[in-house]
Amino acid sequence: MKCFIGAPIMAAVALALATSQAGAACDCAANYSNGEAAATSGASRTLYRTEKRMITEERCETRYRTVYDRVPVERVVNYTKHVTEQRQKQVNYTVMVPSYETKTRTYTVNKPVWETRTREINYTVMKPVYETKTRTYTVNKPVWETRTREINYTVMKPVYETKTRTYTVNKPVWETRTREVAYSVRVAVPYTKTINVNTGSWETQQYTIPGRTYHKTVRTPGKWVYNAATCSCCYCPGSCCKIECTTEPKVCCKKVWVPRCETKEICCTKYVCEPRTRTVCYKVCTMVPECKSCTYQVCRMVPECRTKTCCYKVCKMVPECKTCTYQVCRMVPECRTKTCCYKVCTMVPECKTCTYQVCRMVPECRTKTCCYKVCKMVPECKTCTYQVCKMIPECRTKTVCYNVCVAQQCSKTVTCTKCVPRQVAYTVKVCVPRCVEIQVPCRIVTDCCDPAPACDECGAPAGDCGCKG
C-alpha cells in the first residue's frame, strides 16, 4: 500500500526537476517526435508531453478464517467415593462404687452444769469529811519613792602633738661578679656486641577435612493422570524419601610458624660523662645604710572630770497582815457489807449417742500463736454411730460407636466441551495499483532561434527534458 502511494509522489518530484532543468536553457523552439502541439499564439507556444503515472484503486476481496465452535459431549466417568459407616463395639471399663458401712464408737465429752450460790463480800470505801479552818499570813506591799543624786564621771579628751624622727634604711647596690662552674657532658661512645635472636619463618601445610554427612529429601518421578471431569490431565507427584549424602572431603592449607635461633652482631652506643668547666656571671646585692627623717602627728588622750544629776526610784517593801478561810477534805474509811449472786459451773458426766460421717484427713503440721481459756473439764462417756465409705472396684461393659471410612466405586455422566473447527468468510478492501498516461504542459517556447534537436522519448529539446540518455 505504501509503495502504491509513493509512486505518484516520486513522479511529481521527477517532473519538477525536469522543469527546472528545461528553464535553464535558451528559450528556443522544440519539435516533438510525435508532432503534437496544443496551441500556438504569435511568437510563443505551449508544449505538452505524455507522462505515465501510478494510481491505486480499491477492490473488495473475499477471504476465509477458521473459527472453533464448542460442542457439548457426554462421557461416563468412574470414580471412588469414601463413605463413612458407623459401627459398634463392646468396651470393658472399671468404675469405683462407694460402699457405706455403719460403725459405733464411745467417746467422752464435758457437759456444763450451772449452779447458783450466794456469799458475803466485805469491802471498804472512802467517805469524805469536810472541815473549815482559818489561817493568817503576811505579804509584802511595795512602796515606790523618787530620789535625786549627783554622779561624777571622767571622759578622755584627745590632744594632738607634732613630732619629728630620724630612721635608717638599707639601700640595695647591685654588683656583677664572675666565677668558674664545673659541669658534666654525656658523650656518645659506639661499640658492637653479639646477641641471640629468636626468629623463624612461615611454612604452608595441607590438611584434609572429611566430608559432611546429611540427609536429603528426594521426590520420585510423578505421572500425568487424565481427569475426565475437567477433560484435562493432572500431574500427580511421586512419593518423598530421605537419602543419606556425603560431601566431598576438603583439602585446606594453613601456615605454621617454624622458630629458629640466630646470632647477630649489633651496633650499640653508650653515653660517658665528661667533666667540663665554664665561666658564669652573676649579680651580688649589697645593702648600704641611708638616714632619712619624717614628721608625724601623735594623739594623746587627757582625762577630764565632769558631773551630772540623775533621778531614780526606790522600792521599799512594807509588811501587811491578811486572814483567809479554807475548807479541808479528809477521807475516813467506812466498812460495808453486800450480798452478790454468782454462778459456778460444775461439769457432770452424761452419756449420749450420735450418728456422724467420718472423712479421713491427712495430718499436716502447722504452728500458730493463739490466746486460749482453760476450763476444768469432767470426763463423760458417749457412744456415736458413724458411717465409713470404702471404694470397691466394679467391672462394667458399655457400647461405643465409632466411624469407619469405606471405599465405594461410583460412576457418573459428565458433560465435556469439544472444539469443532469451521471456515467463516469475510470481505476485505484491497488497494490495487494501475498505470495511466496523462498530458502534462511543459513550458512556453518563443521562436527566437533555430529549433534544437528533439528528444526521442518525450519530444522535448534534447538536454532540457530531463530524460536519461
Strand, helix or coil at 349? Answer: coil
Q: How far apart are CA 393 and CA 391, in angstroms?
A: 7
* Residue type for position 150: E
pLDDT of res. 314: 83
Would you say 84 and 444 are in contact if contact means Cβ atoms under 8 Å apart?
Answer: no
Strand partners of residue 98: 391
pLDDT of res. 466: 53
H or E segment and range at residue 105? strand 44-108
Q: First CA to last CA across the chain, in angstroms?
A: 31
pLDDT of res. 443: 64
C-alpha torsion 56→62→63→64, nearest 10: 170
Q: How far apart are CA 306 and CA 420, in angstroms?
A: 159
| Nearest Cα residue to 41 out of 451, 374, 446 | 446
Q: Which three cell numbers stand for residue 193?
A: 656486641
DSSP per-residue string spanning 28-87? --B--SS----EEETTEEEEEEEEEEEEEEEEEEEEEEEEEEEEEEEEEEEEEEEEEEEE
pLDDT of res. 124: 83
Output the CA angle 333-334-335, nearest 5 degrees. Answer: 125
Q: Which three cell numbers stand for residue 420?
A: 469443532
pLDDT of res. 42: 45
Parallel/antiparallel/unpaired status of strands 39-41 and 250-347: unpaired
pLDDT of res. 445: 56
> Can you give the pTM of this predicted structure?
0.20
Would you say 449 and 25 are in contact if contact means Cβ atoms under 8 Å apart?
Answer: no
Per-residue pLDDT of the chain (469 residues; tens, 9 = 90+): 444 444 445 545 455 444 444 443 333 333 333 333 333 444 567 777 888 888 888 888 888 888 888 888 888 888 887 778 888 888 888 888 787 788 887 877 777 777 777 778 888 888 888 888 888 888 888 888 888 888 888 888 888 888 888 888 888 888 888 989 898 888 888 999 888 888 888 888 888 888 888 888 888 888 888 888 888 888 888 888 888 888 888 888 988 888 988 888 889 988 888 898 989 898 888 888 989 888 888 888 889 898 888 888 888 888 888 888 878 787 888 888 878 777 777 777 778 777 777 677 777 777 777 776 666 777 778 787 777 777 788 888 888 787 877 778 888 888 888 888 888 888 888 888 888 888 877 766 555 444 455 555 555 555 555 554 4
Backbone angles phi, psi at 13, to 5 degrees: -65, -40
H or E segment and range at residue 6? helix 2-24
Question: Residue written as cell 449472786?
Answer: 341
The beta-carbon contacts of 60-65 under 8 Å, at least 24 apart in sequence, are 60/427, 60/428, 60/429, 60/430, 61/427, 61/428, 61/429, 61/430, 62/425, 62/426, 62/427, 62/428, 63/425, 63/426, 63/427, 63/428, 64/423, 64/424, 64/425, 64/426, 65/423, 65/424, 65/426
Strand, helix or coil at 327? Answer: strand
Backbone angles phi, psi at 455, to 5 degrees: -80, 145
Query: How many beta carbons lie within 10 A of that of residue 56, not counting itself?
Result: 16
